[in-house]
């Protein structure tokens, strides 16, 4: 059997929100690479897939630094990309797991940029965190002619404000550490009562706030917190 690399999306958190395909692939891997060390999020990815792994699958954790040092990150991405390609070349079935969907705000994209499009690569898509939040909160994302913007709260505030003005529905990712400013932007846009926030969707610690005005700016939020804005939300929620 020739070597293959699978980029496997684990979905938002609950183990049974992984796809049937990802579950099957996990059971046949020689080696599973798991990112590690980002405030507990990546050990989460590993915990999601653990029950699906084959008995002979070797798990290798790789640390991706969060530092602002571009050269340090580049070196790690290069090294891991080389390692994945080398294992495939030696005939192994290799997996790399990533929370949510592999192609959206994921470490995997940096590896893909180095590995390039390859015949021996299969990317298995997954359920995004925002689809899970919409489902759990029973709040639609978009319909008919509406548009949805998925924005990182690390983006410039002017860009976030513009997106809030222009789209019917928005997902604000990476709220952690930025809640007070995002809440102020929502208030300025008149959208505070059209927003909800969810943390750790589909996990045992899931929390949902339907009134962001009542969430203290001082309160430390869980790392996986996302805001959903839908301008058609009923204001009483």
Pairing of strands 93-98, 225-230: unpaired
- Residue 73 interacts with a second copy (CB under 8 A): yes or no: no
DSSP for 190-220? T-GGGEEEEESTTSTT-EEES-GGGS-TTSP
Binding mask 86-115 for a second copy (x = CB under 8 A): ---------------xxxxxx--xx-xx--
- Residue 117 interacts with a second copy (CB under 8 A): yes or no: yes
Short-list 84, 111, 236, 227, CA closest to 169:
227
Q: How far is the CB of 140 from a second copy (least distance, A)?
A: 4
- Residue 16 interacts with a second copy (CB under 8 A): yes or no: yes
Query: Nearest 5°: phi and psi at 122?
Result: -125, 125
Nearer to a second copy, 128 or 226 (CB): 128
**Which of 98, 139, 199, 225: binder of a second copy (CB under 8 A)?**
139
- Residue 61 interacts with a second copy (CB under 8 A): yes or no: no
> Which residues on neighbouring strands pair with residue 5, listed in sequence order?
94, 121
Nearer to a second copy, 16 or 218 (CB): 16
Triad 165, 101, 79: Cα angle to 5°? 115
Distance CA 50, CA 26 (A): 9
Q: How far is the CB of 218 from a second copy (least distance, A)?
A: 26
Nearer to a second copy, 36 or 150 (CB): 150
Spatial CB neighbours of 129, under 8 Å, sequence gap ≥ 6: 12, 13, 99, 100, 173, 201, 224, 226
Report 151-210 residues binding a second copy (CB under 8 A).
Answer: 151-152, 154-156, 159, 162-163, 166-167
Spatial CB neighbours of 125, under 8 Å, sequence gap ≥ 6: 9, 19, 101, 102, 103
- Residue 19 interacts with a second copy (CB under 8 A): yes or no: yes
HSE-CB at 56 with a 13 A cutoff on CA atoms is: 6
- Residue 42 interacts with a second copy (CB under 8 A): yes or no: no
Q: How far is the CB of 189 from a second copy (least distance, A)?
A: 16
Instruction: Please report, as ranges, the residues that interact with a second copy according to CB under 8 A.
Output: 7, 9, 11-12, 14-21, 23-24, 101-106, 109-110, 112-113, 117-118, 121, 123-128, 131-132, 134-136, 138-152, 154-156, 159, 162-163, 166-167
């Amino acid at each position: 059997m020739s070597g293959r690399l699978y980029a496997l999306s684990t979905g938002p958190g609950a183990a049974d929100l992984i796809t049937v395909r990802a579950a099957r692939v996990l059971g046949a891997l020689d080696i599973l690479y798991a990112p590690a060390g980002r405030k507990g999020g990546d050990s989460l990815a590993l915990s999601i897939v653990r029950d699906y792994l084959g008995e002979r699958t070797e798990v290798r954790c790789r640390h991706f630094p969060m530092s602002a040092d571009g050269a340090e990150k580049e070196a790690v991405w290069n090294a891991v990309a080389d390692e994945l390609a080398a294992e495939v070349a030696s005939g192994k079935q290799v997996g790399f797991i990533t929370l949510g969907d592999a192609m959206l705000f994921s470490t995997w994209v940096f590896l893909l940029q180095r590995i390039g499009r390859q015949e021996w690569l299969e990317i298995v898509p997954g359920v995004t965190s925002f689809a899970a939040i919409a489902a759990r909160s029973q709040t639609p994302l978009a319909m008919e002619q509406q548009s949805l913007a998925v924005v990182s709260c690390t983006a410039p505030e002017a860009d976030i404000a513009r997106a809030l003005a222009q789209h019917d529905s928005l997902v604000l990712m990476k709220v952690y550490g930025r809640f007070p400013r995002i809440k102020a932007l929502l208030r300025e846009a008149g959208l505070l009562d059209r927003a909800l926030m969810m943390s750790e969707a589909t996990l045992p610690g899931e929390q949902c706030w339907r009134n962001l005005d009542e969430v203290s700016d001082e309160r430390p939020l869980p790392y996986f917190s996302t805001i959903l804005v839908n301008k058609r939300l009923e204001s009483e929620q």
